[in-house]
Structures are given as structure tokens and as C-alpha cells.
Amino acid sequence: MALLRSMPFRLAMGLVALFSVVSLISLAASYVVTQRSFDQAMRADLMQDMAGFRAAPTAAALAALVEAEARETDPARMVLSYSAPGLGHFGNAMIARDDDGYRIVSVTQGNAEIDGRFLSLTASLWGGQLTVARSRGEIDALRDVFLNILALSLVPTILIALSGGLYLARRSARQVRIIGKTLDQLTSGNLAARVGPTRGWSDDLARIGEKLDQMAEAQETSVAAIRQVSSDIAHDLKTPIQRVAVHLDDLLRQDDLPDRAVVLLEKATDQLDGVVSVFHSLLQIAQIETGSPRNQFRAVDLVELARTFCEIYEPSASDKGQHLVFIAPDAPSLRVWGDRNLLGQVLANLIENALRHTDAGARIEVGLRHHGQSICLWVADDGPGIPAVERDRVLRRLYRLDRSRTTPGNGLGLSLVASIAALHQTKAVLLDNGPGLRVEITFAEVQPDPASVPTASAPISAKIEDL
């Protein structure tokens, strides 16, 4: 249980342990001291008793003194026994010795045996033997008194400290949870996430929360500033690109153009399209790397998506004599948390990449594999592949293999795949398909339980419905 591992609870437990140890030690020490002084007092009493009996002038006088005293003394508290040859036994109890030790048998209470520990003093007086023993019962009872004191002082302390610790632990666990959630949201690109003011008194966690909010505020401001700059750049560059496109289009629409001019204009238009596509991809990668598209994430069925993209590209593939095959998994649908358009872009880029770099007769497979909680999406071809040393580099922006310089493509397709994968908290892995290239991306499956799915804003359809 996380609560039991939390800091306030641990501190409370530590204090309880410390307090208990200190209490135990001090009580034990006072017990030992008290017991010792009781013991000494008892010895002194016995000596004094004995001294009193020693004062008797004759054996008979001693016997009478013992008898008189014994009559008023409970043998359970104090034993008096005097036996002298020829005179007999006097006292309130008899002391016998057998294999188990000494036995005290009461004389006054019908030969009942008396239990308990006694401190005794024996002396030979007037030819007989006098034993005076005092019960240690009071000293033994002292232990129970001390145990009671221990229980009465420790149990409430432990209970109060435990419940206090649990209360504080729950309170701080709530704050830790809020802070953790805010950090997760900030990490996943929701820069507007804040811890917010904490209820109740201000503690360390509340102060951390405040600092965190200040940091998020600063981050949001600077990201907004960066975004403003990049959107300004985008706007400032795209407007002239748009103008060039406009001028080219105006020229192309003129009727009396020589054929050579038309060819040149069309080439220029194609080149401009290339510029636009690089520009657009760079902006898209930059935007993806801010993490902000995560705000739009929802459950996406990869089976449907992969099937759709295979279907979209199938005619293009078969026109070139290539075979594009979809290897469907057992499951009818496999859902991951993401952006449908961006995941579609991944499939499109990987399939286009495979189509572009393989010849007629090549086999291109798009497949899904489901194991445990993860889903592996892969696109594989049996073309020339990518040498192992180059595999990491092709994921970089604008990096192209030497042999690919002549094929179409802007060198951003795979880096866009890599950044979209990173946005989905996964990685595009390039492998040897022996022969060919195999790209695998493993996602965490979205569980059917709606509670495990972060809430998202309502889906927005950008489709044109102009029936």
C-alpha cells in the first residue's frame, strides 16, 4: 500500500518507535531501581525482626514471643517459625524442605501450603532454629504495576500517532497525486495544467505545488512565444510561396504560351510543391515535438487504420507490379491511444517508403501483432534494406542514403515517423528483414475499461459533407 510508504506515515512510525524505546528504557530503569530499594528495605526489616527476637533472654521467652507475634501475622505475608529440641515448634508456619525446594505450610490455616517467593533469615537461638521470612509478593506486584503504566502510556500514544500519521499521509498523498497528475499533463503537452491552490494550511508540498505552477506558467509563456515566432515565420514564408504559386498558375492559364514555357512552368510548379512539402513536414515535426497534439488523442483502431491504408495504396503498388499485403491479427480490432491522422501518416510514410525503394515483384507487408498488453505494428519489404550503421541516421531530418538521392521523397518521411512514434511514447525500430527493411512500432493497448482511458474532448470531424 502506497500510503504506508509515504513520508508522513514513515515519520510518524519512526517517532512512535523512538518514543516507545525511550519509554521502555526509562520504565525499566525505574522498575529496577524501585525493586532494588524495596529489596533493601525488606532485608533491613528482616534484620530488625531478627534483632528483636535475639533480645529474648531464654528459649521459652523466645517461643512465647514468636507465638505472640505469629498469632497476629498472616503467614502469606510474613512467616515466623521457631523449633527447638525439647520445646517443639512455634510460629505461624512450618518450613520443610523436599526435592522441589522449600515448602511453607501454614499452621494457623489448617496446614495449607503457601505459594510465593519469600526472603528469609535463619538464626540459631537457644539451641533451636528461628526462621523469619517476609513475602516478596509486594515486590513482584511492582512488576505488574510497571507493566500497567507502560500499557497506559504507550498504547494511546501509538494509536494517536498512527491515526495522525495516516491522516497526514492521506493528505499528502492527495497532494502528491495532484502534483503527479499535473506533471504528467505538462509532460504530455498540456501546458495549461496547474496544481492550483491547496486547501488547508500551507506545507512543503503546497509550496512545491506553487513553485511548480510558477515553472509551468513560465514554460507556457515561453512556448507560446516560440510558437508565435514559428507561426510568424510560417506565415511570412508561406505568403510569398503562395504568391509564387499564384503567379505560376496565372502564367499557366494564358492561352498563347509556347510549349517549352508550359514544360518549364510545370517543372517550376512541381519544384514549388516539393518546397511546400518539405516546409510543411518541418513545421509538422516541430509542432509534434512540442507534444501538444496529445491533447487531441483518443482511442484509434490500428486494424481498421492499417487495413484502410493497405487498401489506399494497393492499386499504386499493383500498378508498379509490387505486392502490398495486409497481415491481419486474430483480434478484430486493436486500439491504441493516439491521433488517427498522425498514425495514418506513419502508415502512409512507411508504405510509400517501401513502394519507392523496391522494384517490381517486391512484396510489402503491413501487419499487426498482439502480445500481452502491447501491439506491434510493422511494415516490411524485401527490397535492398538499410545498412545497420545507417539505420539510426535515416531517422534524422533531411538525411538520405546516397543511393536514394535520385529517388523522389524529401528525406523527412522517416523522421516524421520517428517523431510521431515519440509523440505516442514509443519508438520506430528499424530491423533487417533479411533481405529488406522492417520497421516495427510497439504501442500499449488501450484497455476496454473506460476508466483507464484519459478523457478527451469530443471528437471533431473535419469531413466535408456536402450532400
Residue numbers of the site for other proteins (CB under 8 A)?
Answer: 231, 234-235, 238-239, 241-247, 249-250, 252, 272, 276-277, 280, 283-284, 287, 292-293, 295-296, 308, 311-313, 315-316, 319, 339-342, 344-345, 348, 352, 355, 408-409, 413, 460, 462-467
Among residues 203 and 314, whose Cβ is nearest to other proteins?
314
Shortest Å, Cβ 278 to other proteins: 11
| Pairing between β-strand 363-371 and β-strand 323-327 as defined by DSSP bridges | parallel
Shortest Å, Cβ 321 to other proteins: 13
All three cell numbers of 37, joined, read 530499594
Phi, psi dihedral angles at 297 (to 5 degrees): -60, 145
AA identity, residue 355: L
Among residues 109 and 296, whose Cβ is nearest to other proteins?
296
Phi, psi dihedral angles at 426 (to 5 degrees): -140, -165
Q: What's the gap between Cα 381 and its chain centre?
A: 42
Residue bearing cell 510568424: 232
Shortest Å, Cβ 12 to other proteins: 47
Among residues 184 and 249, whose Cβ is nearest to other proteins?
249
Q: What's the gap between Cα 432 and its chain centre?
A: 37
Among residues 276 and 331, whose Cβ is nearest to other proteins?
276
Shortest Å, Cβ 215 to other proteins: 23
Shortest Å, Cβ 227 to other proteins: 10
Burial of 27 (0-12, 13-18, 19+ CB in 10 A): middle
Among residues 171 and 294, whose Cβ is nearest to other proteins?
294
Strand boundaries in 147-277, DSSP class E: none
Residue 72: count of CB within 10 angstroms of its CB: 8
Cα separation, 219 vs 212, whole angstroms: 10
Shortest Å, Cβ 171 to other proteins: 37
Shortest Å, Cβ 197 to other proteins: 29
Q: What order do you get walking across the sheet with 118-125 strand by strand?
A: 88-91, 78-84, 128-135, 118-125
Report helix, strand and coil shares of the chain as percent, to nearest 5: 55, 20, 25
Q: What's the gap between Cα 309 and its chain centre?
A: 40
Among residues 111 and 341, whose Cβ is nearest to other proteins?
341
Shortest Å, Cβ 263 to other proteins: 15
Among residues 73 and 287, whose Cβ is nearest to other proteins?
287
Name which of 130, 116, 139, 142 is nearest 46 in CA terms: 130
Among residues 103 and 238, whose Cβ is nearest to other proteins?
238
